[in-house]
Structures are given as C-alpha cells and as structure tokens.
Structure 1
C-alpha cells in the first residue's frame, strides 16, 4: 500500500496534539496554508476534516527554501525532492476522499499569492490560515496582515515557529525569526483578535472583527 513520504516529524512532534483538539471544535472547511514543504500539515487537514465535510485547501509555497536553506547546516536540502514529495503526499491524501478535498496549489511568493486571493474576492472567506512560510520577520508580518484579511470573523490564524530562531555565528538576529513580527501584528490588532491558550511553539489567534 502506498504511504506518505515524510523525512521529518516536525508537525507530529510540535503541532498535532494541539490541532487534534482544535480541529474537533473548530473544524474549518476553507483553509489557506502558507508554507507546505512536504505536505505533512496539509495531509493532516485532509485526513482529519474531509471525512467530516468537504474542504477547500489552498497551499502556498515557492519550494525554493528559505534563507536558512541557503547557508549553514541545511544548505544541502534538495527542494525539488521536497516539492515532489509534497505532490505525492497531498495527492495520496486527497484521493482517499473523492470529491471531498478541493486542493489548489499556488507555487510562488506568499505575498503575491495572498494578494491574488484577495483580488479574486476571497477577503473574509477562509476559516483557518496557517502561517508557516518564510522565517524572516518582514515576510511573516506580510503573511499575517494579508492572511488576516482573508480570514473571516471567528476564524483562526495559526503561526508556526513562534519561538524559533536561526542560530547564526553572531547570535540571534531579530529580523531572521518570526516572533517580533507576530508580536507586532498581535499588538497592533489587539482589539480585533484574541490569543488562544496553547503551547507557545505555535501561537493561535481568533479573529473577532476586521
């Protein structure tokens, strides 16, 4: 029997436990995922939600890797192989639920792809937005702002790698980690959202209003 092809267990180790509880209560039907890598979270969403109701899932990634893939210990990551595994995995997941998982893959930079979704009339359309793309603070902030516009009131936006920081020879660079951008976004929109209680490796907020 054909099986998923994952080379790491990041999602299972750091997010699955919280998502198991969240998806039981929230059960989103329209989802945007920013940063898909090998498709672990996308496959989880399909397997968890498609048996309950049809879902619409948009996956956004360049499959070029981030700046941390271009220098240092993970520089040898073969992103073309990662992209191939993504397509294998999500196709396998969707094929298990014919007609119940509408999957759209957007290959490109997230700010451009998110802007196109807004231009296509998807503002306030999605139930769940997962921000797990670039770790650069400026990119994370753009993903947060645009993703929040796509999210409907009552929807949830999840930020991965909240406490992640790249280990550089000069120490931590606040412009090369997500936390400062996520904090700035939450602080500037504190009247429009509420922070949900969860382990802080990921940060979850519910949208209250535009």
Structure 2
C-alpha cells in the first residue's frame, strides 16, 4: 500500500465538522495520518485541541507554520499550501474538506491514484468555461474544461510532475482573485487547481468520480440514501454504495439550518446526518470527560439535543455506539439533562452512586422509581442507560405530603414534568401519575427488577412504600432508596430489612429481595 496522508483545514467555527471528518477518516483508515491545518485567524480553543489530539494519528499544524514566502493566509489557501509542503513524505496526498465525511474505505482509490500517477476527484458539473481572465495561467481563451474536479475530496499521486502542479497551485492561491491579491481567477482553491491542471495539459491525467457518490455538488439534498447490510446505499444513483457525504454550501452539518431541513421536508437525507452525529460523538477523537459546551461553538450547541433525538438510529447504523455509551462520563450526561430539576446529585453524589448500582447489574430490565418529583433523576437514568434494553416507570402523585409541600419543598409541577419528558422522546421513561399505593396495583407481583423509593420521607410513608413495592420485585432484584441519612428513612428501612447495604457516601440504601 502506498504511503498516504489526509489533509484538512479548520478553525473555531468549523471544528464540529472537522472532528466528524477526522473521525470518519480514522474509522476507515485507523492507522493513517491526518494533518489538520488550524487557521490562526479564528483559532481553536484548548478544549477543541484536546479533542483532536485524543488520537496520535492526528497532527495539528498552525497556519503560521505555512506563512513562508509571505503567503496570504486564509481557509482556501491553506489546503494548497499544506499539500505542497507535506507531499514530499508521501506517495499520495488526499485533500478533504471539513464538511465532508468518508462513509467507506477508500484504499481502492488511493491505490488507483498511485498507479496512475495522476489526480482523482469527484466530477463537479459538466465542466467550466475559461474566458480572457484565465490567460494569466497560460490558457488560450476562450476554452472549455470538461474535466473539472472537485477538491472537497481529491487524491493526488506525489510524482515530480505533480509536485510542480501543487507548487503552482499554491502560488496561484497566494495570488488569487478570491482573496483580493490577484490576478489568478477561479472559484476557491478548486477553481485554481483545475485551471492550473488545464493550463499544464494534464486533464487527461484526471479521473473523475461519480458526483452523486463523492463530492455531491448540487445533488446532496436530492439524494435518497438508505442503509443496508452495514453500508450506506445511494438509492437515487443505481442503488450502489455511497463513498462519502458532502453537505457543502451554507447549511453545514453542524448548523441548525441543516438539522431543521432534515426534520422539515428532507427526511431522505437523515442517514448522512446520522453519520455526522455518529462520527462527531463516537469517533476515535473525543473528549467524553469534558462538558461538550467547552468545545462546541454556541451556534452548534444544539448537537447535544440532537444526540439524544437521533440516538436510537445512531445505535442502528453503528452498533458499537451502544458499547461506547457505557463510557458516557458525567460532564456529558449532566450537559444532556441540564435544566431538568433533579433532587439527586452527580459528581460523586447520590445520583452518581445510583448509576453505579444500576450499571453493576446488567440484568435490570424493568426499573420503577417511587417519587420522581419533576423527573430529573429517572430521566438522567433513562439517558445514561439509553443503550440498554431497559424500561423506566416513574410514579409521582404531584401531591406531596398532602400539606402543600414535598418534604418541605415546593410541590412538583406536572406540566414541568411533561415538558422535561418531552425533551427526551426517545428514552424509555413512562410516567405513572398517582399515589404510590394505588399505582402499585398497575404492576404484577415479582415483575420488576429494581424499585427505587424516594417519595415522602416520613417513617410511616417509607414503611408503607417498602411494604407495598417490595412484593413487586423479582427474587434477586433490588429495592433501594435515597436519603439513608435521614433518621426517619433509616428507621423504616431497618424495621423492614435485616440486612441493608449503603453506597460509599451513605446516601443510597439498597438490598436484594430473597
């Protein structure tokens, strides 16, 4: 296999796309090197850098490292500079935009490019016409170039002849009309490279790939994409495997406009968006121990909610994500459920300990919480264990201690509970409104694997809840509760059970039913 590298350009705003792009490359080519050029005009934050550096195959290059010879620095130019400067160490260089995702292994194209000694890229339209302004390249205008190649994802064999092309491309991008330096015309780096190749008489060395399957210029929103036999299929192009996804244009994968367009009239493009979310959240480069808002630009913070909305489908196209979800760290979990009132606390508190208790027993399938307030704790569990075949039942009367309070707290709001639950339509939490004693009649005896009691903390009420609900738990199942430190709770628990265990902080008590 020839030596090859991928090259992409990023900045703060494009980071979500870059992370997904990088992860898509590493997913199919885990041992390759991908160079990420960071535009210093809008630099990455430390948290973004930390994400990308989570895999040793990612090499960050600051744009200032490419400033030699008084180069003009901006996004379109940087790709050409990097290709020129880095090509010496490789047999093939591959340029990929940060709004383009691999959805297949491309070893076949890399090998073909190496053997041909030329260029390979997606076809962009039927070509382009060169007018008098293009004489600066040495083109006898007017002329028509029918081999117009996209640079969203292109492959270049590193030969001496092609090194001269990359050098010329870099020089012309440095003196391009699009950056105001002039005099070289062309739409972005793509237009300049194609003009350089045409002027050099090298169009015969360009292999154009099917636009529908690669660059997707002008066809992205019209493509019908399906998923069969663990691969993406383009149903609108002969039902053949898709090779890459490229959204292009202004509606980037990480923008609300893109998400909204998917939801409102373009459902047939759901799979490309699913793949973007999959590669962003579950790729090799990730930082699950960091609050996502530390590395997501404000305009892209909706991706946290999108993760939950699309999670069941992500598990379908990428089953490994179910296993990776077990490594979900509390900063990400806390961000997902942020804004939902929760009595139990994370960061080592009773919520953390309850999660560990549930995590330790994969046999738990049916979980009931008696006393859910406005749903914070059970929804947190529903999110945390969204990868498991597990149903959650939330029993809440919304009437508290019948004195206008819930153990001294304001009564929970039923509308707020329903509003909270509406944020997570894909998690398997079901509200069972009503008094604990009456709601228990809706469950058969020995039908639950875990019951968590966190309703009224008065001794009499705790005794009643334990007495009613322990018969609903299967032999070997768990009954537990919060606030073991309350004397009213502890006395009731020990009156009902001879042996009780507590979590390290002593907040949560639990025992198995014989």
Aligned with residue 58 of structure 1, among 375, 379, 393: 393
Cα deviation, residue 123, structure 1: 0.8
Residue 23 of structure 1 is matched in structure 2 by: 358
Q: 1:195 to 1:181 in 2, by over 3 A?
A: closer
TM-score, L = length of structure 2: 0.32
> Equivalent residue for 1:108?
434
Deviations 1:120-163 (CA, angstroms, capped at 9, x unpaired): xx211111100000112111111111211000111111111122
Q: Which has the higher contact order (CA 8 A, sep 6+)?
A: 1
* 2:490 aligned with 1:185: no
Residue 87 of structure 1 deviates from its aligned partner by 1.7
Q: 2: CA distance between counterparts of 1:196 and 1:146?
A: 20
Q: Establish whether residue 87 from structure 1 lines up as the match of residue 424 from structure 2.
A: no
- Preserved CA contact (<8 Å) 2:398 2:411: no
> What residue number does 2:461 align with?
139
Instruction: Report the CA distance shift for 1:17/1:78 in structure 2 as closer, same or farther (over 3 A).
Output: closer
CA contact 2:367–2:450 (8 Å) conserved in 1: yes
How many residue pairs align between the two structures? 177
Aligned mates of 1:72, 1:42 — CA distance in 2: 19
Distance 2:405 2:442 in 1: 29
What whole-Å deviation, never above 9, does each CA across 1:160-204 have from its counterpart, x for those lacking one?
112226xxxxxxxxxxx3222111011xxx3xxx53352322211
Contact 1:36 1:86 in 2 (8 A): no
Tell me the SS of whatever aligns to 2:500: strand
Unaligned runs of 5+ in 1: 166-176
Q: Secondary structure at the match of 2:455?
A: coil
Bigger radius of gyration: 2
Report what 2:344 is aligned to.
10
8 Å contact from structure 2 (residues 400, 411) kept in 1: no
Query: Paired residue for 1:168?
Result: none
Does residue 124 (structure 1) correspond to residue 457 (structure 2)? The answer is no
1:202 corresponds in structure 2 to 508
Partner of 1:32: 368
- Evaluate the alpha carbon distance shift between residue 90 and residue 54 of structure 1 in structure 2; reply closer, same or farther with a 3 A threshold: farther
- CA separation in 2, counterparts of 1:78 and 1:137? 19
Give the CA deviation at 1:45: 1.7
RMSD: 2.6
Partner of 1:153: 475
Task: State the 1:73 CA deviation.
Answer: 6.4
Gap runs ≥5 in structure 2: 1-301, 306-335
TM, length-normalised to structure 1: 0.73
Distance 1:25 1:131 in 2: 19
CA distance in 2, matches of 1:31, 1:7: 20
Determine the C-alpha separation between the residues in 1 that align with 2:430 and 2:394: 6
